[in-house]
Homo-oligomer: A and B are copies of this chain.
């Protein structure tokens, strides 16, 4: 409560990309895509995020349903079996999100310089 302490403020925030049908891509889903790329498997990606295979698969299905083409391609082999990788559309979706994130972070930083109370 002391007015002797200088108070400087900054903005924080988060964003996500929606399609006309609802949520498409947020930070959590992009991290899942990046882990699938890294681990080459949905189940290993899920484990690395302490997410169930079912949850990860639901997220992948949700993303695919909001996209002109699937973001993840999974080889046959069934539950926990075959490998998975990002499609070209999947790579484009990750790149799109990261490009928006750079602009979003730049906006927050720039707008933070003019916060006064």
- The complex places the Cα of A54 from the Cα of B18 at a distance, in Å, of 36
- The complex places the Cα of A8 from the Cα of B116 at a distance, in Å, of 37
- Closest chain B residue to A112, Cβ basis: B17
Q: Mark A83-107, 1 if CB is under 8 A from B, else 0.
A: 0000001001100100010011001
Size band of the A side of the interface? 35 or more
**A residues with CB within 8 A of B:** 1, 3, 5, 7-20, 24, 64-70, 89, 92-93, 96, 100, 103-104, 107-108, 111, 115-117
Q: A3-B68, A11-B18, A12-B17 are in contact. List 8 more A-B contacts (CB 8 A).
A: A8-B20, A13-B13, A15-B108, A17-B115, A92-B117, A96-B115, A104-B107, A107-B107
